[in-house]
Amino acid sequence: MKKTLRDISVKNKKVLVRVDYNVPLDVNLKVINDKRIVATLSTIKYLLENNAAVILMTHLGRPKGKVVSTMTLKSVSERLSELLGKPVKFIGADCISSESKKMAADLNYGEIFLLENLRFRPEEEGKNALGEIDKVAMDAFAKQLASMGDVFIQDAFGTLHRSHASTTGIVKYIKNAAVGFLVEKELKFLGRVFENPVSPFVAILGGAKVSDKIGVIENLLNKVDSVIVGGAMAYTFLKSQGVSTGFSLVEDNKLDLAAELLKKAKERRVDFFLPLDHIITDKIDFINKYIPSEAIIKTTVDEAIPEGFIGVDIGPKAIEKFYKIIETAKTIIWNGPLGVFEINEFSEGAVKVAKFVAEATDNGAVSVVGGGDSIAAIKKASVDKKISHISTGGGASLEFFEGKKLPGIIALPDAK
Ligand code: AMP
C-alpha cells in the first residue's frame, strides 16, 4: 500500500500536485468536458482546507515538446476556478521559467497556481530539445519542477502507466510524496475487482486492434469466466477461425496469435464470445467517421461477412447473446467500443451493451468501465450514474488489467 494524502502533513507546505487535465477543448479553446477536472476537486479542496499552497501540473494533448498555442491550459484554469469558486493563478509562462518559479515561491497558503502545459517541454517525456531520448535532461527537468514544492501528490491516474518527469522523475527529488484521493479511489476499486472478483466475472473488450489488448486478454484468461469481444478486434479472431470477414479491419499479422488466444481460452475453460452477426456496409470513411449517402447498410445472417463489405457493429443476434451473458454477471469490466459508435447508425451495439452493464449493476454486479470511447457510449446510453466505477484512465486501467505494475505508483513511497 502506498502513502496517501492523509498520511502526510500538508499544513503550511507548498504542495505540487500532478493532475490529469488532458481534457478536450473546442475551437474557441473552451473546455468541452470537465470530468477529469471535477475528479480532482476532493484532493484540491482537502489541500486548501488544510492550508497548503497548491501548485498544479498537468499535460494537455500531444504538443511534442513545443509550445502549441491551442494546447494552453488557460481555459482549464478558468474552468477549475469556476468549479472551486475561487481564483486559480495562471500565467502561461514556461512551467520551469523564472516567472513560474517566482509565482510558486510567492504563493500564499490557501492559494492555487496552475503551471502551463508540461508537454510544451520535451524533457517531460524524457527527450531533449533535439527530440532524442535523454534521461539526463528528463532528470534535470524533474529536479526543477520539484524545486517548487515541499510535498508531491500524485493524482493523475491517466498517466501512471508512463515514466515521465512529472510521474516518476520528480519523486527522486521530493521524498515527501503520496497518492491523492482520485488515484487512491481508482487503485482501491480496480484492485478490489481484480483481486476478489465475484463470479461470474465477464470482460467485455472492443475497439480497433487486437494488438493493443493482447496482454490484457492473456492476463484476463486467468481471472474471468467469460470474454466478450466486439469492435474491429472481433474480425481478427473470426478470420483466424476461417470465417470470411470481407474488407473489415483485420490485423493479418495477428491471426496466429488470435487463434492461440482462443485455444488458451478453451484450455482454461473461459467462454470466449465473438459476434454471431454484424451490421455491415460497403462504404465508410473511417477517418472522418462518415457514411456516404449511397452506401449500402445490411445485417448479416451469421458471423460471415461477404466480399466487398466491412463489419461496423455487432448485429441483433450478437446483442441478444451478449445480453444473456452480461445479465447474469456479478463482476464486469469493459474497455473499448463494440462498433464504429461515433456514427449513430453503428452505435447500437455499444449503447445496448452500456444498458446491459447498467442493468446488471442494478442487480448487484460490480462494473468498471475504462477508455474514452466506452465511457462515451455509457454517456450516450445515459447510464453513467449506474456504473460502479468509471475509470479516469483508459490506458492505465488496461495496463492494470494486464497485471503490469504502474511506474507512477512504483516510484512512490510505501505506507509504513
Ligand atoms: P480503441 O482505441 O482500440 O479502443 O478503438 C476505438 C475505435 O475503434 C473507435 O474509434 C471505433 O470507431 C473503432 N471501431 C470499433 N469497431 C470498429 C469496426 N468494426 N471497424 C473499424 N473500427 C472500429
Q: What is the pLDDT of residues 251-260, one digit of tens each?
A: 999 999 999 9
Q: What is the pLDDT of residue 211?
A: 87
pTM over 0.75: yes
pLDDT in tens, 121-158: 999 999 999 999 999 999 999 999 999 999 999 999 99
Alpha carbon of 350 to ligand 1 centroid (Å): 11
C-alpha cell at 308: 466487398
169 is catalytic: no
Q: What is the pLDDT of residue 365?
A: 96
Residues of the chain above pLDDT 90, percent: 93
Pocket test for ligand 1, best of 340, 380, 399 (most atoms within 8 A of CB): 340
Closest ligand 1 atom to the C-alpha of 341? Answer: 12
Closest ligand 1 atom to the C-alpha of 206? Answer: 4
The three-point CA angle 276-277-280 to 5° equals: 155
Looking at the DSSP bridge assignments, the partners of residue 280 are 298, 311
Residues 329 and 200 sit within 8 Å (Cβ to Cβ): yes
For ligand 1, which residues put their CB under 6 angstroms from it? 207-209, 212, 231-232, 249, 311-312, 336-337, 339-340, 342, 371, 373
**What radius of gyration, in Å, describes the C-alpha atoms of the chain?**
23
Please check the confidence at residue 49 and state whether its pLDDT lies above 90: yes
Please check the confidence at residue 189 and state whether its pLDDT lies above 80: yes
Alpha carbon of 96 to ligand 1 centroid (Å): 38
Q: How far is CA 222 from CA 204, 226, 274, 275, 370, in A?
A: 15, 11, 19, 22, 20
Selecting among 18, 36, 127, 321, the annotated active-site residue is: 36
Q: What is the pLDDT of residue 225?
A: 98
Burial of 85 (0-12, 13-18, 19+ CB in 10 A): exposed
- Between helices 181-195 and 394-401, what is the axis angle to 10°? 30
121 is catalytic: no
Please check the confidence at residue 75 and state whether its pLDDT lies above 80: yes
Pocket test for ligand 1, best of 217, 233, 249, 373 (most atoms within 8 A of CB): 373
Domain ranges of the chain: 5-181, 189-401
Alpha carbon of 144 to ligand 1 centroid (Å): 40
| CATH no. of 5-181 | 3.40.50.1260
Alpha carbon of 187 to ligand 1 centroid (Å): 27
298 is catalytic: no
Q: What is the pLDDT of residue 372?
A: 84
Q: What is the pLDDT of residue 254?
A: 96
Q: How many other C-beta atoms can be found within 10 angstroms of the C-beta atom of residue 259?
A: 16
Closest ligand 1 atom to the C-alpha of 278? Answer: 19
Burial of 371 (0-12, 13-18, 19+ CB in 10 A): buried
Q: What is the pLDDT of residue 192?
A: 86
Residues 206 and 229 sit within 8 Å (Cβ to Cβ): yes
Q: How far is CA 38 from CA 198, 243, 383, in A?
A: 30, 46, 19
**If phi over 0 gives left and psi between -120 and 50 gives alpha, with beta otherwise, what is residue 323?**
alpha
Closest ligand 1 atom to the C-alpha of 335? Answer: 4
364 is catalytic: no
3-state secondary structure 229-295: ECCCHHHHHHHHCCCCECCCCCCHHHHHHHHHHHHHHHHCCCEEECCCCEEEECCCECCCCECCCCC
What is the DSSP-derived secondary structure letter of residue 371? S
The string over 16-53, giving b where at least 16 C-beta atoms fall within 10 Å of a residue's C-beta and e elsewhere, is bbbbbbbbebeeeeebeebebbebbebbbebbbebebb
Which CATH superfamily does the domain covering 189-401 fall into? Phosphoglycerate kinase, N-terminal domain (3.40.50.1260)
Q: Which residue has the cell 500538508?
A: 10
CA distance 378 to 372: 10
Alpha carbon of 403 to ligand 1 centroid (Å): 24
Same fold, 5-181 and 189-401: yes
Please check the confidence at residue 416 and state whether its pLDDT lies above 80: no
Alpha carbon of 251 to ligand 1 centroid (Å): 13
What is the DSSP-derived secondary structure letter of residue 345? G
CA distance 365 to 225: 14
Q: How far is CA 209 from CA 18, 178, 182, in A?
A: 30, 35, 29
Please give the backbone phi and psi of residue 117, each rounded to the nearest 5 degrees, phi first: -35, 115
CA distance 56 to 15: 8
CA distance 331 to 324: 14
pLDDT in tens, 91-108: 999 999 999 999 999 999
Among residues 128, 46, 122, 117, the alpha carbon closest in space to that of 84 is found at 46
